[in-house]
Amino acid sequence: MSGEAKPYPYHLLRPRPYPQKLSIVMPMHNEEEVIPVLRKELTIFLGQLRSGAEVVLVNDGSTDATLARIAEWAEEDPRIKIIHLSRNFGHQAAATAGLDHASGDAIVLIDADLQDPFEVIHDMITRYCEGYDVAYGQRESRAGESQFKLATAWLFYRIMRLLTDEQLPSDTGDFRLVSRHCLENLKSMRETHRFLRGMMAWVGFPQVAVRYRRRERAAGETKYPLRKMVLLAWTAATSFSSVPLRVSFVLGMIFGLLGVEEAVRALLAHFMGWYTVAGWTSLTVVTAVMGSAILICMSVLGEYIGKVYEQVKGRPLYLVARTFNVELGDSARNEYSAEHKIKI
């Protein structure tokens, strides 16, 4: 497979006009260093658009001066809208908060580190006008990253497709343009443990890849080191797929067969007079093998039960502590207790 999702046969592309309003959603966590460069490049890009625009910056519990810097920006530019979350809820929840508050006809989700060039959005808008509801950025190359990072990233996307959905495009992050119609359907999915790129593949609608070269990070450090990539992969697998449950069954079968093999070996040793410590080998090995199989299966099952437990609590996906230049809609109000709505 090429990794490029194609429209299903029953989708007929209908050309649409250039969006009257474009929303750009950016989750941010400790991005103080990149803000000056981001502000300069984004201002240039907004001036190139043929429509109105808004930029929804979601401060995901930053512990540096990120909020102060973007608040100054919002005071000078009413197109800059800020959603300040009460604490760090994670990238996927922060991205969800931005999508919930976006009001454009077309919505772009992009990180603030400037690795994904704003110029690619022009190509995404072109595909949007052709009738596609999702235009996702697919990386041809990744500048400034080590061979280890490139290898782990390659492996990450292949494992994700194996564990979740073969329609999930490879070498594709959260950078994409989504139509208003597609977003409204996506917003109806309120699961606690979120994997947005998988959810967007699941909702269907005509989708197309826009290939580009990823740049080096403008400043600061990556927010997705290997540890977080592994955690995201595990969250996606256990919240978006039942494959781990099937894998646990296969592991149980394998360990069971190993136990049978050890039993056969012990019997052969007894009847053929091989040197053995009577009863020790078979008892120890079979106990260890079966115990491992049981614990692995229980841990996987427990992970699913834990996620069901957290989902049925019905807690909001995020809490908003403060907003800037934002009028909260009804859908956004459902996500938090609106006692401290402060706007400028």
Residue pLDDT, tens place only, 229-247: 666 666 666 666 666 666 7
Q: Please, which pLDDT band fits residue 87 given cuts at 50, 70 and 90?
A: very high
What is the pLDDT at residue 240?
A: 65
What average pLDDT does the structure give for the chain?
79
Q: Please, which pLDDT band fits residue 327 given cuts at 50, 70 and 90?
A: confident
Determine the Cα–Cα distance for residues 41 and 2; give it in Å rounded to an integer.
32
Is 165 or 197 the better-scoring residue by pLDDT?
A: 197
pLDDT at 121 over 80: yes
Torsion of CA 196, 200, 203, 209, to 10 degrees: -170
Is 224 or 250 the better-scoring residue by pLDDT?
A: 250
Residues 307-314 have a mean pLDDT of 74
What is the pLDDT at residue 311?
A: 73
Is 310 or 282 the better-scoring residue by pLDDT?
A: 310
pLDDT at 207 over 70: yes
Q: Name residue 179's beta-bridge partners.
A: 106
Q: Which of 81-95, 148-162, 163-177, 271-285 has the highest mean pLDDT?
A: 81-95
CATH 3.90.550.10 fits 21-223+316-333, yes or no: yes
Q: Please, which pLDDT band fits residue 174 given cuts at 50, 70 and 90?
A: confident
Q: Please, which pLDDT band fits residue 341 given cuts at 50, 70 and 90?
A: very low
What is the pLDDT at residue 242?
A: 63
Determine the Cα–Cα distance for residues 106 and 179; give it in Å rounded to an integer.
5
pLDDT at 330 over 50: no
pLDDT at 331 over 60: no
Residues 28-41 have a mean pLDDT of 92
Q: Which of 3-12, 139-148, 165-174 has the highest mean pLDDT?
A: 165-174
**Is the pTM higher than 0.75?**
no
Domain parsing of the chain, residue ranges: 21-223+316-333, 243-312
pLDDT at 337 over 50: no
Q: Please, which pLDDT band fits residue 160 given cuts at 50, 70 and 90?
A: low
